[in-house]
Chains A and B, each alone.
Chain A
Amino acid sequence: MFFILITGLLLGGTYALIAMGLNLQYGVARIMNLANGEMLVAGGFAAFWVYTAGQVSPIAALLVVAPVAFVVNWAIYRIMLRPLVKRAKSRGALEVDSILATFGLSFALVGIMTWFFGGGYFNYSYLTGRVDIFASSYAQNRVVAFTIASLLAAALWIWLSYTRAGLRMRAVAVSPDSARLVGIDVPAVSALAFGLGGAVTASGGALISMFFTLDASVGVLFTMKALIIVIMGGVGDIRGTIVAAMILGIAETFVARVIDPGLTLAAAYVLFLGVLLFRPQGLFGRTPT
């Protein structure tokens, strides 16, 4: 039981990082990015590639993956999504457009990645030793991935909470209209948030690739999980995202160990159902009325 809890938390740490990326994109830039999982897979591919080609550690690869993902996602927002924001007559119209556009992007990315890397699975052996925690042993790469994910998440949280740029971002998240009135360049902040979100997710992908077998088309599964975490934790709520990610990590590990490893999505869905039925505003969200 304790083993499940720790394994679940280790998994949840990486989930939290990925979901924070999606939450930045949806909470600040107001784009439901369904290509989020493909960014993750791309990050994993990059880590795989530098490790197998040049024996560069996936952790060092983060130094390249994050900035590149930032620039790519920033450009995607400016070139593809900004025009949709501009032409949208209502929040609902923007939602439909951005869902369709990011689905398109998602499929195109899967197509391109299959083209370059083939449709097969890929994994590599890195830090395969064991670590002992409380009398049980855990894979070294999972523990390292968790540690780095936690550090990145903490850094992001501090940045959002204590810097001016972070404050601007939170202002746009709360109300784009009011943010504009106090002189915040909302499109620029949105693009920044979208880029940053992409960088965070891709970093999460590089970390996950250390212990998880990926393939070009697995992205949608991670998109799904990240979406469920964001909804469960509450849009724009970092604390909620972290708690929700931990809950999902533990629930998945529990189901995989105790019932059947093929039912992890079902576990996520049970949580999702509970949230939709009882707390659609998120774990820590205030009831609107």
Chain B
Amino acid sequence: MTMRDIRNLILSAFAFGLLALLPLYVSGYILSIATTMAMFTVLATSWALFSGPTHYISLATAAFFGLGTFVTGLGFQTLPMWLLPIIAAGLGAVLAALVGLVTLRLSGVYFVIFTLGLAELVRQVVTWVQNRTGQRGMYVLTSITERDIYWQLLGMAALVFLVGWLIARSRLGFALRIIGNDETVAKHSGIDTAAAKILLFMVSGAAAAVVGAMMAPRYIYIEPSTAFASILSFQVVIMALLGGTGRLWGPLAGVVPFTLLWEFISRNAPNQTLLLLGIAFLLIVYVLPGGFVGLYDRLRHRYGQGGQ
């Protein structure tokens, strides 16, 4: 570890400490936006861990998230609360492994298409099972408050950043960068490319499932159509790409402005949220390839401070 790493670690710990104090000063609407931001920070950062280096666009976030909410919905009365996110993580990883085994050996298009319908598929199956067993939606009535959810998500965000930081300096992270550059070279250098991709997709899927498990008490009432709403997947993709996947902090730079913008639009023109999503996608492709991170790097380069 270099001095710079230690400095960054201390700064990050300090920032997280400050953010953890937030619920002591604010509540209500502002806290709920902060919670939403924390949620998207975990989702977008863990999404970028996999999709950043490999360039595989995953639209499966909603499927993992919904799985997590159902774990809490089904288990909160019988199992200890601390166990639920762990179970969700396990199931998320299993689902990711299955999807990965089927699609990640093939080209990126198959992966996108498969994940595009995954949330809807799981929703249909869950609805069918519920219909057959005569069950409807579930009430998740707990003593967990918005504050608790915020702290849980913040802790999860810290964990995801730490994991991302560790992966980036591990052989797995290096392998993923090589795969993203040239998969043929990766294979001939001795990298089991399918295994590396599946492993990281599992990390990403597990994180999204944990977020779902933590968020469930906030919804109070859970039903398949809200738990597996596929729009979540797209929001996450946009936030991560808007921020940029080239750095660990990139997605965060997309989460903060986009959450605020989304909040503003959905309050004032609720029918126009989809138009906003569309325009954001087009903006990323045509105006901001590489996201804010890319812009930042270009500016730094132009003004001659490019340290690397």
Asked if A and B are interacting partners, one says yes
Q: Determine the chain B residues whose CB is within 8 A of the CB of A97 once the complex forms.
A: 285, 289
Complex contact B114–A276 (CB within 8 A): yes
Output the nearest chain B residue to A115 by Cβ-Cβ distance: B271
Complex contact B274–A114 (CB within 8 A): yes
Residue among B112, B117, B273, B289 with the highest chain A CB neighbour number at 10 A: B117
State the Cβ distance, B294 to closest chain A Cβ, in Å: 14
> B139 contacts the other chain (Cβ, under 8 Å)?
no
State the Cβ distance, A241 to closest chain B Cβ, in Å: 16
Complex contact B114–A100 (CB within 8 A): no
State the Cβ distance, B99 to closest chain A Cβ, in Å: 10
Output the nearest chain B residue to A225 by Cβ-Cβ distance: B117
Complex contact A266–B106 (CB within 8 A): no
Given A101-B282, A105-B278, A231-B110, A262-B131 contact (CB < 8 Å): yes
Complex contact B278–A101 (CB within 8 A): no
> A260 contacts the other chain (Cβ, under 8 Å)?
yes
State the Cβ distance, A285 to closest chain B Cβ, in Å: 13
From A93, A119, A217, A265, B117 is in contact (CB under 8 Å) with A265
Q: Determine the chain B residues whose CB is within 8 A of the CB of A231 once the complex forms.
A: 110, 113
Q: Determine the chain B residues whose CB is within 8 A of the CB of A280 once the complex forms.
A: 106, 110
> A19 contacts the other chain (Cβ, under 8 Å)?
no
1/0 per residue, CB under 8 A from B, across A107-122: the answer is 1111110110001000
> B19 contacts the other chain (Cβ, under 8 Å)?
no
Number of residues from A at the complex interface, CB < 8 A: 47
Output the nearest chain A residue to B101 by Cβ-Cβ distance: A277
Given A108-B275, A265-B117, A96-B282 contact (CB < 8 Å): no
Q: Determine the chain A residues whose CB is within 8 A of the CB of B94 once the complex forms.
A: none
State the Cβ distance, B53 to closest chain A Cβ, in Å: 13
A112 to B279: give the CA distance in the assembly, Å. 11
Complex contact B55–A92 (CB within 8 A): yes
Which residues in chain A, 228-246, are within 8 Å of chain B measured between CB atoms?
228, 231
Output the nearest chain B residue to A35 by Cβ-Cβ distance: B278
Complex contact A108–B278 (CB within 8 A): yes
State the Cβ distance, A41 to closest chain B Cβ, in Å: 13
From A107, A109, A115, A260, B234 is in contact (CB under 8 Å) with A107
Q: How large is the interface on B (under 10, 10 to 19, 20 to 34, 35 or more residues)?
A: 35 or more
A93 to B56: give the CA distance in the assembly, Å. 11
State the Cβ distance, A102 to closest chain B Cβ, in Å: 9
State the Cβ distance, A280 to closest chain B Cβ, in Å: 5
Output the nearest chain B residue to A224 by Cβ-Cβ distance: B117
A108 to B272: give the CA distance in the assembly, Å. 9
Q: Determine the chain A residues whose CB is within 8 A of the CB of B289 once the complex forms.
A: 97
> A106 contacts the other chain (Cβ, under 8 Å)?
yes
Which residues in chain A, 209-253, are within 8 Å of chain B measured between CB atoms?
217, 220-221, 223-224, 227-228, 231
Complex contact B106–A276 (CB within 8 A): yes
Complex contact A260–B285 (CB within 8 A): no
State the Cβ distance, A104 to closest chain B Cβ, in Å: 3
Complex contact B281–A107 (CB within 8 A): yes
State the Cβ distance, B245 to closest chain A Cβ, in Å: 11
Output the nearest chain A residue to B289 by Cβ-Cβ distance: A97
A260 to B274: give the CA distance in the assembly, Å. 30
Complex contact B124–A95 (CB within 8 A): no
> A68 contacts the other chain (Cβ, under 8 Å)?
no
From B103, B117, B241, A100 is in contact (CB under 8 Å) with B241
Complex contact A107–B274 (CB within 8 A): yes
1/0 per residue, CB under 8 A from B, across A184-196: the answer is 0000000000000
Q: Determine the chain A residues whose CB is within 8 A of the CB of B120 once the complex forms.
A: 221, 224, 265
Q: Determine the chain A residues whose CB is within 8 A of the CB of B116 once the complex forms.
A: 34, 220, 223-224, 227
Given A101-B281, A103-B281, A104-B278, A262-B109 contact (CB < 8 Å): no
> B42 contacts the other chain (Cβ, under 8 Å)?
no
Q: Determine the chain A residues whose CB is within 8 A of the CB of B279 once the complex forms.
A: 104, 108
Given A105-B282, A276-B114, A265-B121 contact (CB < 8 Å): yes
Interface residues of B (CB under 8 A from A): 55, 57, 102-103, 106-110, 112-114, 116-117, 120-121, 124-125, 127-128, 131, 230, 234, 241, 271-286, 289
Interface residues of A (CB under 8 A from B): 32, 34, 83-84, 92-93, 95-97, 99-101, 103-112, 114-115, 119, 217, 220-221, 223-224, 227-228, 231, 259-260, 262-266, 268-269, 272-273, 276-277, 280
User: Can you name 18 A-B residue pairings with CB atoms under 8 Å?
Assistant: A32-B109, A84-B285, A96-B55, A97-B285, A100-B284, A103-B278, A104-B277, A104-B282, A107-B275, A108-B279, A111-B273, A111-B274, A220-B116, A228-B113, A265-B120, A265-B121, A276-B110, A280-B110
